[in-house]
Chains A and B, each alone.
Chain A
């Protein structure tokens, strides 16, 4: 029975082509300032890691008289550096291709959020199932005038976090959701 089970369409009353399609809508991107914030974050973390890896070399340069233990020789430093290069490069790739893919669509009865480049997901949550909303703003986000919106659903597996919204956008989106949540 498994041979060609595709395309069995019994019950023709529901016309799937008449159902509103999400794929035809344009996704609204998140704030460009968020890209700057994320790139700065990336650069900062890479810098700290690189400094950490190169610390024996730096120590030697600053005070040549210090005796370093044998295991801390500078000969094998290229191993962690290559690892960092690969992982950091992958992360940068994810930022470069993934950021333009971040976006949301607000429909009359549900909200959809799309994210990710390597691992992509498009999640739709109906307003009626949202238990509560949360707008958060850390110190970095405050600097860039951004807010993150988190939607909580029952059971928690459908929770949605839309990060990097402009402050006004976040407030107006919250306003839209506030009037509609819990009403099915």
Chain B
């Protein structure tokens, strides 16, 4: 399948575009719609206004569809679009960071696929084809990917690029399967999410709805006979415990629902061409991330996930300068230790060699930080005085001392030949991996108080954001900084 001639998307794309525009314009135009419907015959005006809005949006979608054409010219993806102002976008393949296929409900019914191309350019531009046939999407993806994978290194080697292309053709047979979620595992993933946060989200929604209609509650209370009022109070007290249970259960339900929506029938694998993943119920996303575009790997786990033997993998690619895109990341839950071993062996082969250095933060800093944290509570106790406050304060001091010690003990920086491993967190544990050869910069940072103690923080700037390791001794930090730059230059010279 070739894309030399500019072509339109699948005709059903009009429908999808119309749905998208309805949603987008509807969010902006609803006050207008309400404004129109004011007056004598409100219902008729509202219907008329709504119909007019529908027709206008539909016409807009149709024109947008007719004007939208895409083609491939050489090694550039060309898109012409625009309803009022026409524009011609040219995206060179080697600028493409991610190619993502997605299927919303409409696309799934008609066997179509959307294709999204992200570039990490300073403009943060992205391109979306909403509806093309699945075969066409896959063909286009492999065309874009084949050439964007190997950025042409030097002018002199340009005529060798044919051979390079042959070599990096995706070989589907060599893919190693990673996690695939069955329904049971999916439910476990849902169970191990942060229910409290989800419960609060649900609670906020309910209280928002109630808060908007307080007169309904007062009216109901007024209607209750005065004799029953004390009973109502008792009933309210009795309801507190079930209320808390209900609150937590709603959190679990929200967790389950989001897990199913996001990770339904998830499959993932790694092959020669990179990391591949597919997931989702209503909107199915297909990710294809080449290894050399992965700038940061994050493993997250909490206490429940560790009990289940799970970790969540987060793979981050280069961010656009503008924050609107929000970074390009792929999350894969329910990774087991063997999956981590497979992925890390592929991505960071130097982890098998013993590390150059293993560093811990300066130990006495934890006592200083702990003292700063508990000082206010101690002062309150001293000025206030009742013995119960003293007990609470003592408990708080002990608890915060214990957690501070645990958190500090969990901090570890491991430096390999080309890989930095940052481990932090004790209850919520994180393991962050980044490559020295991909570094965008290193920063040695400290406040004036720390400088006096010869302590500072080491910041690794990557294309996917900065990561910090705190409270290193100055000579250690500077040695690691110099080593990192040295390895970076050595690594990029090899490439």
Q: A interface vs B, CB < 8 Å? A: 2, 5-6, 8-11, 14, 16, 19-23, 109-110, 117-126, 128-129, 131-132, 152-158, 160, 184
Contact = CB atoms under 8 A, between A and B. Distances in A.
Given A19-B482, A120-B447, A155 B462 contact: yes
Given A20-B482, A132-B122, A184-B495, 8 more contacts: A120-B448, A121-B446, A124-B443, A126-B441, A126-B492, A156-B321, A158-B441, A158-B462
A100 B479 CA distance: 24
A118 B451 CA distance: 9
Contacts of A153: 440-441, 461, 463
B483 A19 contact: yes
B358 A123 contact: no
A5 B409 CA distance: 10
Interface of B: 120, 122, 295, 318-319, 321, 353-360, 409, 412, 417, 439-448, 451, 456, 461-466, 478-479, 481-483, 485-486, 488-489, 492-493, 495
A6 B360 contact: yes
Contacts of B465: 155, 157
A124 B442 contact: yes
Nearest to A109: B489
Contacts of B448: 117-120
A116 B442 CA distance: 16
From DSSP, what is the main secondary structure of chain B's interface residues? mixed
Contacts of A6: 359-360
A11 B356 contact: yes
A120 B466 contact: no
5 contacts: A16-B479, A22-B481, A109-B489, A121-B444, A126-B440
B122 A158 contact: no
B402 to A, nearest CB: 14
Interface centre among B417, B451, B482 (most CB of A within 10 A): B482
B321 A152 contact: yes
Contacts of B353: 11
B440 A154 contact: yes
A124 B481 contact: yes
B319 A155 contact: yes
Given A5-B358, A8-B358, A156-B319, A184 B440 contact: no
B438 to A, nearest CB: 9
Nearest to A157: B466
B494 to A, nearest CB: 9
A118 B447 contact: yes
Contacts of A110: 485, 489
A121 B443 contact: yes
A33 to B, nearest CB: 26
Contacts of A20: 482, 485-486
A109 B486 CA distance: 10
A20 B486 CA distance: 7
Given A22-B478, A119-B447, A157 B461 contact: yes
A121 B445 contact: yes
B485 A155 contact: no
Contacts of A184: 492-493, 495
Contacts of B356: 9-11, 14, 16
Nearest to A97: B448
Contact of B445 (A23, A120, A160): A120
Given A14-B417, A121-B445, A155-B462, A126 B488 contact: yes
B156 to A, nearest CB: 14
Contacts of B357: 8-9, 16
B354 A123 contact: no
A131 to B, nearest CB: 7
Contacts of B489: 109-110, 126
A115 B192 CA distance: 44
Contacts of B122: 131-132, 152
B318 A158 contact: no
Nearest to A111: B441
Given A126-B488, A129-B440, A120 B446 contact: yes
Contacts of A11: 353-356
B486 A19 contact: yes
Interface centre among B354, B440, B464 (most CB of A within 10 A): B440
B319 A122 contact: no
B355 to A, nearest CB: 6
Counting from the closest, the 10 A-B pairs by CB-CB distance are: A158-B461, A158-B441, A158-B440, A155-B463, A154-B463, A184-B492, A10-B354, A157-B466, A125-B441, A153-B440
A10 B355 CA distance: 6
